[in-house]
A and B are shown apart, each in its own frame.
Chain A
Amino acid sequence: NAGVMQNPRHLVRRRGQEARLRCSPMKGHSHVYWYRQLPEEGLKFMVYLQKENIIDESGMPKERFSAEFPKEGPSILRIQQVVRGDSAAYFCASSPGWDRGNTDTQYFGPGTRLTVL
């Protein structure tokens, strides 16, 4: 069973460009979460999605950031007009959801390290 996949692993962008980060959840998982981790800091929740629905985006900056999880294909975190402060590791996690009577543990992908020049 393949784990959570993220690509690219490393992404370099110049200020003002767009960054697109992709996440494919673990097989059988329908819930996707995005987190941001700055150096020497903890993981910060950004957004929680299910297929075709954004459930909670309370951790997302109001401007320039958006996320989607289409019916087909990976979840995408999109950052428009990147600034230096966006440089961070972005982790995606997936879980099967509580409706399966389990603990809904989140499993993390390897992350995308975004560097804004």
Chain B
Amino acid sequence: GQNIDQPTEMTATEGAIVQINCTYQTSGFNGLFWYQQHAGEAPTFLSYNVLDGLEEKGRFSSFLSRSKGYSYLLLKELQMKDSASYLCAAPTSGTYKYIFGTGTRLKVLA
């Protein structure tokens, strides 16, 4: 089957570091995406991993382990504006049909 799992909610404090995990099962593998979605807004692209390892982009980093079917998004120096849902998504064998997780709702507290 094809499935993406991620925690429903997380809470963290401003200035802290938070790691949002994602496990996936897809038919074939064509990379893994992370999107940020603020309430009532469009998902915005954060990162794409196709090779194992850590990709760093400023305060956000994303990690992939293909052998474990696992990824995480690491957010450093949290800011209030980082309060949002974080969506893990993977294209299936057709390379275009993304399967999305239900999203992890992150609350950043002052």
Please report A residues at the B interface, Cβ cutoff 8 Å.
4, 31, 33, 35, 40-45, 48, 55-56, 58-59, 91, 95, 98, 103-111, 113
* 11 further A-B pairs in the complex, CB-CB below 8 A; given A41-B102, A45-B99, A111-B42: A48-B96, A55-B96, A104-B96, A106-B33, A106-B45, A106-B98, A108-B35, A108-B43, A110-B42, A111-B41, A113-B40
Contacting residues, chain A, for B4 (C-beta < 8 A): 42
Question: Are A42 and B100 within 8 A (Cβ)?
Answer: yes
Partner of B42, one of A41, A59, A104, A109: A109
Closest to A110 in B: B42
Q: Contacts A31-B96, A103-B31, A103-B50 hold; do A42 and B45 have CB atoms under 8 A apart?
A: no
Q: How many B residues have CB within 8 A of the partner chain?
A: 25
Asked if B1 is at the interface (CB within 8 A of a chain A CB), the reply is no
* Residue in B43, B48, B50, B95 whose beta carbon sits within 8 Å of that of A43 in the complex: B43
- Given A105-B33, A109-B42, answer yes or no on A56-B94 (Cβ-Cβ < 8 Å): yes
Closest to B42 in A: A108
Q: Which of B72-110 contact A (CB under 8 A)?
A: 87, 89, 91, 94-103
Q: Are A107 and B45 in contact (CB under 8 A)?
A: yes
**Given contacts A103-B50, A107-B45, A108-B43, A42 and B102 within 8 Å (CB-CB):** yes
